[in-house]
Structure 1
Amino acid sequence: MSLIAQYKGLGKSYGARTLFTDISMNIHEGDRIGLIGTNGAGKSTLLKLFAEVSTPDAGEVVIKKGYRAVYLPQESQFEAGKTVSGLIDETLDAFCAEDAEAFGKAWQLIGQVAFPDVSAQVQTLSGGWKKRLAVVLALIKKPDLLFLDEPTNHLDLSGILWLESLLKRADFSYVMITHDRALLSNVTDKTVELGTQYPGGYLRIEGNYKEFLRRRDELLESQLKQESALATVMRREKDWLARSPKARTTKAQFRIDNAKRMEEELADVRSRNRNNREMDLDFTSTQRKTRKLVTAKRLARHLDDRTLFDELSFVLSPGTCMGLVGNNGTGKSTLMRLLCGKDSPDGGSVREAEGLHIVHFEQERDSLDPEMSLRKALSPDSDSVLYRGRPLHVVTWAKKFLFTPDQLDLPLGRLSGGEKARVLLAHLMRQPADVLLLDEPTNDLDIPSLEMLEESLQEFQGAVVLASHDRYLVETISTSMLGFLDAGGVFPCSSIDQWARENSPAPVQKKAVPEKRSKQTTKAKKKFTNKHKYELEQIEAKILEAEDKAALHEARVNDSSIASDPAALQEACELLGAVQKEVETLYGRWEELEELKAADGVES
């Protein structure tokens, strides 16, 4: 594969804080790289250096001529007053005006997104729709190399699956920062982690996230053994040095010098091993023996003229985890509020075991006072907290959640989103619970924190209800799942793939986008140009080819051997849906060209 970009000896600091030094790597055509690391490790900074959005303090960045790099930031800024169709038109005119094939592909992509209203002003969109628009605009620019910083931010479950499908089919190289472990596993073939626990400050592994975990654990285990071996040798060398050998011979001087080098190496390895910190989570359970902690019978809840769920019944028992799977606004948070008594159902009942302790972790972080100090938030009543029946000093308690002593007097308003999430988890852990209701607890958590949360929930002896867009976490710890449908209703499901198959997609607005575009760019469509003539001549063959492909994929979906394999069936259905949308887009474009031809008075 051809080399696209070279990075040599990159280093970056902010004030006295050094983020990284001497990072070197190459990117080739077809590379799909996941960039991971703890919050604050410098991932976003490094990505900006890769994309030439900012300049390194040291090192060299070379993106080969003829290759287009596009950078997609965490939070996209759109010009006030712009509409969805207006931004799409501007980007199409700038990057696809002279390329009929790229123009067609762009409209195919736009049609698949199915924006609710392309005439809407961008500032009125939800965070999820803004993110989808930002992704679409980035892809219209025809990148050879795409840099994505937390592209799943604000996306609901359908949005994440849409993004994953795009990246699986990508014909460009990309580097992506994300904490979504399922996404990393499914769409990357190389993994880079920034971290002071590694020699040189980073670790690069050829392979997806699952392969990375295996190789990383091997390295860290080897590094611990190296520390132990060096410490043993150094004890022997220190005994020898204590006998005050005189460096009168070359051999004695060499041993003294070697001992000093080994001491420096031991200090370096020891420092790296100490930097391999993990959040220490251990949820407190009351260890209640009752088998039926919460019994829900025929629950119903309506929102305006829409039914969120009806006739919903289940039992929560110790050691179980019920995963709630669905898009935003489908009723997951509402169900949790019914279970803990904060809201009342429209029908049915919730019965709790006597003296039950329910702890509810809400996704909104507004409960934190931005003026309160971290010390006060972690330990409200004194300099110690009571945890599992014994007192812990606030400094020790803070370290369990990766806070340093010098952060304790900081106001909460100065903490990052991930740090605020850890404060809420610390509060959660101090409360003995029979049932944990966790509403999006993974928001803003980095991968090490997610791994510790996962391990702690698996060890929790009470019942857990978990709503999260983190597919990896939900499918790992759930003993059962409820799927919430966009159209309303809840059903038991065995996997997120099953939920995706059952969930009805929003109806595609036929020709809506092209019609809006014609209003926005009437000047560009006054004439039926030679480019339009050529496109019209080619489009019938493209439609026939797409229809043949659709027939083949439909036959695969109906194949009994495929139907018996859920993963293969899911893939076949996705491919069929994509081709059917392609056919629909081509027909829409054909109609548009014929109308333009007729309006311009061109004879057949």
Structure 2
Amino acid sequence: VAPLSGGWKKRLAIASGAIQDPDVLLLDEPTNHLDLEGLRWLAQLLVQGSWAWVLVSHDRWFLDQTVNRVTELNSRYVDGVLSFPGSYSDFLDKRDAFQELQEQQAQALAGKVRKEEAWLRRGPKARTTKAKYRVDSAYALQEQLAEVSTRLREGSTELDFVGSGRKTKRLVVGEGIKKGFGHHLLFEHLDVVLSPGVRLGLLGVNGSGKSTLLKILAKILEPDQGTIKHAEQLKVVYFDQHRQELDRKLTLRQALSDTGFTVMYRDKSMHVVAWAKRFQFQPEQLDVRVDLLSGGEQARALMARLMLQPADVLIVDEPTNDLDIPTREVLEEGLKEFPGSLVLVTHDRYMLEEVCTQFIGFDGQGGHAFFAEYEQWEVWLRKREQRQRLTEGSVAGSSEERSRRLPTKKLSYKEKQEFETMEQRIEAAEALLEKAQGVMTDPSVVSDHVKLEAAVKALQSAEQDVERLYARWSELEAKRQGVPSSYSE
């Protein structure tokens, strides 16, 4: 077990619990260390399982795929709990309606308090029981309003990354990038252009080269081949998943402010206490050492530090580690509103789909492609895996195995001709698909919604052509080897 990665250790631990056929399976942050493939595996395991289970997770896509009831623990609710049946998306809709009702009730209460305060200012004397009761009720209403207002304000983080205001259209240009370690190729022939407004998500299993590409784009690593060009005096802000920007020996105060008293944000001076409060830190935490903070607090501290730096390009590597859902939601809004260019790596599929305008997907074997949507990458991966299985099956089939197969119709002359040209047709279709994917990275297309809509339709059409050809190839291959058609499915 020791040589296994964190993701595989997590899979093993979950599987060990599941095979005991429990009445109830309790899962505390089961998605930690799992890549996107691991998330799909776990979601399928839980949905198909026969046992009841309770899980704690901050992964919203995973919650949406698995649960039939969501319970949120939060001090902003009267009893500290809000629970609704349904998926996570259902919960969000019901929570929004609930919070809107709470705010309406708070406004009505505020109106009632104003009326009673006006009555109190007239100086009534509590000479009668009725008057005394009204005075007491007025003070009770004030306390109730203060409590409700505090509850509605609680837990809000403000994340607003500062752009430099640069108007340059080509901030980072990479051409022919190749990178590998030893005999393991991560990617090659990779071209990328980062322009203002481009929010690029990187997809792939752990170890496929996502974090490596981030470092190459930031000029922390050199590519083995190809070039990376930065616009003159480019300002890059890098959020490292290991949080190496944070000196853990410093206090929180020292980490946030070089002087320990003030910070400069948007050319304005702000006291460090006020700045820390924006990230849910209490004044008494300022003198606590960074290494004594929780993982989520360290992530918020790093964001607070990086937000002080104006940026042309944000490079963000696994920002959601240890973050709760409310902070993830605020982070999403901050990233979407950033006026420069963003490159994002995260296992949070919900965030990827909410934030990114385009994607690069890596297959872990040196291949890559560009996509307009996350689901397109999943289709691409399935087709590559299908093609690999077909190729391996074609080579591995033996005459002895073929002799044992059920008798079926062989290929007709026309089908033989079709089969012999199938691989070339697929290569041609994939070349057109790659060209359509390349159009999606053109800044002039991305910035023009009419051109972008046409490019998306062309990409979808190219993907359908490739999918159709693979399905036909699979059908012909099965028939050629004498496999019954039902088996080829």
Partners of 2:280 and 2:313 lie apart in 1 by 26
In the TM superposition, what are the counterparts of 1:165-180 in structure 2 within 5 Å?
165-180=44-59
Instruction: List aligned pairs for 1:242-321, cutoff 5 A.
Output: 242-243=121-122, 245=124, 247=126, 249=128, 251-275=130-154, 277-321=155-199
Give the one of 329, 335, 352 matched to 1:474: 352
SS at match of 1:165: helix
Taking the TM superposition and a 5 Å limit, the aligned residue runs for 1:509-520 are none
Matches within 5 A, 1:15-54: none
Q: Which residue of 1 aligns with 2:415?
A: none
Q: Where do residues 102-501 of structure 1 align in structure 2 (5 Å cutoff)?
A: 122-243=1-122, 245=124, 247=126, 249=128, 251-275=130-154, 277-501=155-379
Tell me the distance in 2 between the aligned counterparts of 1:359 and 1:472: 23
1:303 is aligned with what amino acid? F
Q: In structure 2, what residue type is equivalent to 1:156?
A: D
What is the aligned-residue identity percentage? 47
Q: Call closer, same or farther: CA 1:382–1:269 in 2, change over 3 Å.
A: closer
In 2, Cα distance between equivalents of 1:496 and 1:169: 24
Q: Cα gap change, 1:161/1:494 in structure 2, threshold over 3 Å: closer, same or farther?
A: farther
Shift of 1:282: 0.6
TM-score after normalising by structure 1: 0.61
CA contact 2:209–2:364 (8 Å) conserved in 1: no
Distance (Å, rounded) in 2 between the aligned partners of 1:239 and 1:474: 51
Task: Check the 8 A contact 2:7/2:38 in 1, yes or no.
Answer: yes
Q: Aligned to 1:441, what secondary structure does the other structure show?
A: coil
The alignment yields a C-alpha RMSD, in angstroms, of: 2.5
Cα distance in structure 2, aligned partners of 1:358 and 1:242: 57
For residues 167 and 401 of structure 1, the distance between their equivalents in structure 2, rounded to whole angstroms, comes to: 35
Name the SS for the 1:482 alignment partner: strand
What is the Cα deviation at residue 254 of structure 1? 4.2
- Asked if structure 2 preserves the Cα contact closer than 8 Å seen for 1:131 and 1:154, the reply is yes
Deviating 4+ runs (over 4 angstroms)? 242-250, 504-508, 563-566
User: What is the Cα deviation at residue 327 of structure 1?
Assistant: 1.3
> Which whole-Å CA distance do the structure 1 matches of 2:177 and 2:259 have between them?
39
- For 2:157 and 2:97, locate their aligned partners in 1 and report how far apart those are by CA, in whole Å: 20
1:302 CA drift (Å): 1.7
Q: Distance in 1 between matches of 2:304 and 2:32?
A: 24
Relative distance call for 1:130 and 1:505 in structure 2 (3 A) is farther
Q: Give 5+ residue unaligned stretches, structure 2.
A: 390-459, 472-489
Q: Which amino acid aligns with 1:418?
A: G
Shift of 1:288: 1.2
Q: How do 1:537-576 residues align onto structure 2 when only pairs under 5 Å count? A: none
Query: 2:253 touches 2:260 (CA, 8 Å); kept in 1?
Result: no
SS of residue matched to 1:199: coil
Amino acid at match of 2:46: L
Aligned length: 392
How far did 1:444 drift?
1.0
Aligned partners of 1:158 and 1:500 also within 8 Å: no
**SS where residue 488 of structure 1 aligns?**
coil
